[in-house]
A and B are shown apart, each in its own frame.
Chain A
Amino acid sequence: MEDATRTFGKGSCPPGPVPEGLIRVYSMRFCPFAHRTRLVLRAKGIRHEVININLRNKPEWYYTKHPSGQIPVLENSKCQLIYESVIACEYLDDAYPGRKLYPYDPYERARQKMLLELFYKVPHLTKECLVAIRCGRECADLKLALRQEFCNLEEILGYQNTVFFGGDCISMIDYLFWPWFERLDVYGIADCLNHTPALRLWTAAMKQDPTVCALLIDRSIFLGFLNLYFQNNPDAFDYGLTC
């Protein structure tokens, strides 16, 4: 995988300028927000390099890329920086030729952005469930809240009667949602999809997509990362790398 490189931590040398013809993404192999950007880079066939950041031990130089050290951040050969995962994904769609992930029609574009608003609680809820389970806490309320969010998405698929959120083909909105659904199993909350058959069909269809497949994270490696992460081990982020 393109991003199978060791993280940069405190004391590391800043990477040089981005070579012409490439775009760089500052990332972390297990981060769902960065995953969105990597999906778009792959789906559009954009030549890129990945620099993984140790999120528990951030390099000082990284704050010159993002004011609070968040990922993902895009950097191009003109030294332009773009952050916020959704903004980065839209930038890539606008700036690069070839397959357009957002629809051309202004109303259809607006619809995808409105759908994104429906999703905003999911990242927080899935993370809270993960933390609760890992810390041995009760999370029935959290799972209920998450199921409710999934019901809202289920309704959309039912109303539209399409396989994907943007229609009969995969598009930007599906890639923006996907990373959290890929993580349901390793987070231990896959049963939250029990009452949403259309959403289950959607996840099955997503797993058939070549881009999604190419970036699918190995389950045992993800679990290894999570174990170390919750032990506060700063080596967690490099788990599973052979080099």
Chain B
Amino acid sequence: MSGGSARSLAKGSAPPGPVPQGLIRVYSMRFCPFAQRTLLVLKAKGIGHEIVNINLKNKPEWFFTKNPFGLVPVLENSQGQLIYESAITCEYLDEAYPGKKLLPDDPYEKACQKMVFELFSKVLTNKKTTFFGGNSLSMIDYLIWPWFERLEVLELNECVDHTPKLKLWMAAMREDPAVSSLLIEAKAFRGFLDLYLQNSPEACDYGL
């Protein structure tokens, strides 16, 4: 089931109440690749969370009090603290929650992942290891994955034909439990995209 199955909240909706203790809330949208990064990390680290989907074509007024930029993803915890910008939310979750660290402890290795994040497309052709961070899956792979998942859904995967290493990476990613549990169903995504391109406020709830 991708990204929470609740209908999105739109203009005129009541703001959700405070976040219960022991949970963290993510404001999301089922088809947004940036929000998917945060969902991947929440899943991968086994963090108890609730999802509030936002209608990005018809945003609730209260949503701007969560993020002045009005974008998803946004994290809200039970102390009312708000974190936005997908990469910042992912790093916050890695630091604030126990369990497997997705970012390396070594300062240089961590800096390398951040440089890779910045130089995404250039590194593609130079990468010698199976995953972007080394020989096992880590933060940088989750940050990049959403776009490649969509390539396939949109049948644009000829783009990766010239890069067999990338194809191998995509196959390896599909084996990951966090990735496979959030895979977007092709028909649903295409349905969403059709409505989205027509500026329909129903787009975000397609398939519910």
A residues with CB within 8 A of B: 67, 76, 78, 80, 82-84, 87-88, 90-91, 94-95, 106-107, 109-111, 113-114, 117
Chain B residue numbers with a CB within 8 Å of A88 are: 111
Contact A80 B83 (CB under 8 A): no
B residues with CB within 8 A of A: 77, 81, 83-85, 88-89, 91-92, 95-96, 107-108, 110-111, 114-115, 118-119, 122
**Distance (Å) between the CB of B14 and the closest chain A CB?**
25
Chain B residue numbers with a CB within 8 Å of A78 are: 108
A83 to B122, CA, bound (A): 14
A84 to B107, CA, bound (A): 15
Cross-interface CB contact of A82 among B77, B81, B89, B108, cutoff 8 Å: B108
Chain B residue numbers with a CB within 8 Å of A90 are: 111, 114
12 pairs, CB–CB < 8 Å, chain A vs chain B: A76-B108, A83-B115, A87-B115, A87-B118, A94-B107, A106-B92, A107-B83, A107-B96, A110-B83, A110-B92, A113-B85, A113-B91
Known: A80-B108, A106-B95. 20 other contacts (CB 8 A): A76-B108, A82-B115, A83-B115, A87-B114, A90-B111, A91-B107, A91-B108, A94-B107, A95-B107, A95-B108, A106-B92, A107-B81, A109-B91, A109-B92, A109-B95, A110-B88, A111-B83, A113-B85, A117-B85, A117-B88
Chain B residue numbers with a CB within 8 Å of A107 are: 77, 81, 83, 92, 96
A211 to B95, CA, bound (A): 29
A80 to B110, CA, bound (A): 12
A82 closest partner in B (C-beta): B111
A107 to B81, CA, bound (A): 8
Chain A residue numbers with a CB within 8 Å of B114 are: 84, 87, 90
Q: Is the interface of B mostly helix, strand, loop or mixed?
A: helix
Chain A residue numbers with a CB within 8 Å of B92 are: 106-107, 109-110
A177 to B110, CA, bound (A): 23
Given A91-B108, A95-B107, A95-B108, A84 contacting B85 (CB threshold 8 A): no
Chain B residue numbers with a CB within 8 Å of A110 are: 83, 88-89, 91-92
Chain A residue numbers with a CB within 8 Å of B115 are: 82-84, 87
Cross-interface CB contact of B118 among A76, A84, A114, cutoff 8 Å: A84
B97 closest partner in A (C-beta): A106
**Distance (Å) between the CB of A164 and the closest chain B CB?**
20
A128 to B96, CA, bound (A): 39
A78 to B106, CA, bound (A): 14
A86 closest partner in B (C-beta): B114
Given A94-B110, A95-B107, A67 contacting B122 (CB threshold 8 A): yes
Contact A87 B111 (CB under 8 A): yes
A67 to B108, CA, bound (A): 18
A80 to B155, CA, bound (A): 39
B88 closest partner in A (C-beta): A113
A117 to B83, CA, bound (A): 12
A84 to B118, CA, bound (A): 9
A80 to B107, CA, bound (A): 11
Chain B residue numbers with a CB within 8 Å of A80 are: 108
